[in-house]
Amino acid sequence: MDKNVGPEDRVVRIVVGLALGFLIYLGIIESQIANIITGVIAAYLVISGLLARCIFYRMIDVDTAIQEQSYSTTDDRSGL
């Protein structure tokens, strides 16, 4: 699977995943079921951020890893 998560998206995923993990660590979330669900989401966000691959992006055909290319002038194209 090709990388489909861009650099900005990766940072956001990792930060949110770590924040959710920190909430679990502090015990702010009381329910055990909610802790498990939050932990799975946090782990997925951190792993997908580190690997730059997202299964859900692949399913809906989204690619944030594509960077915009700079505009070229006529001088660049003509070789001047």
User: What are the extents of the domains in the chain?
Assistant: 7-62
The answer to whether the beta carbons of residues 39 and 21 sit under 8 Å apart is: yes
* Continuous H helices in 3-73: 7-26, 32-51, 55-59
Residue 1 clears pLDDT 80, i.e. is over it: no
Could you read off the pLDDT of 51-60 as tens digits, one per residue? 999 999 899 9
Over residues 11-28, the pLDDT tens digits come to: 999 999 999 999 999 999
